[in-house]
Homo-oligomer: A and B are copies of this chain.
Amino acid sequence: MNTGRQGRRFVALCGGVGGAKLAFGLARVLGPDQLLVVVNTGDDFEHLGLPICPDLDTVLYTLAGQNNPALGWGRADESWTAYKEMQRLGGADWFQLGDKDIGLHLARRHLFDSGKTLSAVMKVLAERLGVTTPIVPMSDEPVRTMVHTDQGKLAFQEYFVGHKCAPAVRAIEFAGAANATPSPDFAAALGDPDLAGFIICPSNPFLSIDPILAIPGVRHALSRTNAPVVAVTPLIGGQAVKGPAAKILQELELPVTPMSVAARYDGFLDGFILDRRDAELSGAFPASVRVGVEQTLMVSDDDKTALADAAIAFVRRIRKGASPS
């Protein structure tokens, strides 16, 4: 049953940089009514009173063409006047904040103070930045990733930025997840009987995708949807393109392979896109998971668009319930 354009939407689940690159490609290929980008909020935190949503902002800046590719985070054409003055005057200096970035956080604070939900706030920010693809948080309620490490329990940003991912991870907790609900647009998509498919972007499975899956009802909805669920590998040649995914797999005593990533999505995964360099691993996946092989490293905008095209085509080739071969 096809209820029209609106009904054939793709839902992308993603975290920060890597996920944002594929989301950028998808947004180039799909119209704003054909794509919903659902973003991890487990990294969100309040820093010096500023409400900071690292993954949402990375996706937003990337889709707005205003991300900073040199840094890998933050805004293009950024200045650092406020941050430098803060440092000079005795402020905290472990988390860098550009002037424009601060402007966005202050705007978000104002929009929160006026009673808006995070979903509503992101709609305003996206509109002002000229982004038409809907970007929504996984939840409007706070979920906070806590990393249990050999150096104790750390809030996500302490682990990720403060300690530069150095402590060994023992376990990861998503505080608040048990009482959170999917954001309205995410919930509607999860209940939509006519989606084109779910695409799990090449994001860290533990830190970016697991928080989304930790919200009650999400795993169940993914296991029940008649739309294909496909993941794109965040690992190439046994290494993460960016971030601590490989390191965490080792610390959790799991093989540093794409199959370990796929195993995180056991129970709802229909397809997995491997990188070309890992093509020989195609046979190592369970029979229930169809495997595609693509160029997954995204350097240029064309790479992003090509991978988006490939992921969409891969999803469309999958018929749920049909033989994966």
> Residues of A with Cβ closer than 8 Å to B?
46, 48-51, 79, 81-92, 97, 99-100, 102-104, 106-111, 113, 124-125, 128-129
- Cα–Cα, bound, A152→B48 (Å): 32
Cα distance A29–B163 in the bound complex, in angstroms: 49
Give the docked Cα–Cα distance between A299 and B245 (Å): 62
Q: Is the CB of A48 within 8 A of B89?
A: no
Compute how far the CA of A113 lies from the CA of B104 in the bound complex, rounded to whole angstroms. 22
Which residues of the partner chain B approach A109 to less than 8 Å between Cβ atoms? 48-49, 91
Chain B nearest CB, measured from A274 CB (Å) = 39
B124 touches A99 (CB 8 A): no
Closest to A81 in B: B99
Contact in complex: B110, A85 (CB < 8 Å): no
Give the CA-CA distance A45 to B92 in the complex, in Å.
21
Please, could you name 22 A-B residue pairs with CB atoms under 8 Å apart, sorted by A?
A48-B109, A49-B50, A49-B106, A50-B106, A79-B79, A81-B103, A82-B82, A82-B100, A85-B103, A85-B107, A86-B102, A86-B106, A88-B128, A89-B103, A89-B104, A89-B125, A89-B129, A90-B128, A91-B106, A91-B110, A91-B111, A92-B113
Residues of chain B within 8 A of A83, CB atoms compared: 103
Q: Measured between C-beta atoms, what is the minimum distance from A147 to chain B in Å? A: 21
Q: Report the minimum CB–CB distance from A2 to chain B (whole Å).
A: 36
| CB of A64, distance to nearest CB on chain B (Å) | 11
Residues of B within 8 A of A106 (CB): 48-50, 82, 86, 91, 97
Contacts of A113 in B (CB 8 A): 48, 92
Closest B residue to A100 by CB, please name it. B85
The reply to whether B79 and A124 form a contact with Cβ atoms under 8 Å apart is: no
B124 & A90 in contact (Cβ 8 Å cutoff): yes
Max chain B C-beta neighbours (<10 A), residue from A82, A102, A110: A82
Quote the shortest CB–CB distance from A85 to chain B (angstroms). Answer: 3
Closest B residue by C-beta to A111: B90
A48 B90 Cβ-Cβ under 8 A: no
A107 CA / B49 CA spacing, docked (Å): 11
6 shortest interchain CB distances as A-B pairs? A49-B49, A85-B103, A91-B107, A81-B99, A89-B107, A86-B103
Would you call B79 and A81 a contact (CB within 8 A)?
A: yes
A48 in contact with B110 (CB, 8 Å): yes
CA distance A129 to B84 in the complex (A): 13
Inter-chain CA distance A101–B262, complex, in Å, is: 49
Residues of B within 8 A of A100 (CB): 81-82, 85
User: Which residues on the B side are within 8 Å of A97 (C-beta)?
Assistant: 106
User: A51: which B residues are within 8 A, CB to CB?
Assistant: 49
Question: Chain B residue with minimal CB distance to A90?
Answer: B124
A86 pairs with B110, CB closer than 8 A: yes
Q: How far is the CA of A129 from the CA of B89 in the complex (A)?
A: 7
Question: In this complex, what residue of B is CB-closest to A104?
Answer: B89
Of A46, A102, A111, A113, most B-chain CB atoms within 10 Å: A102
A90 touches B102 (CB 8 A): no
Q: How far is the CB of A121 from chain B (nearest CB, A)?
A: 9
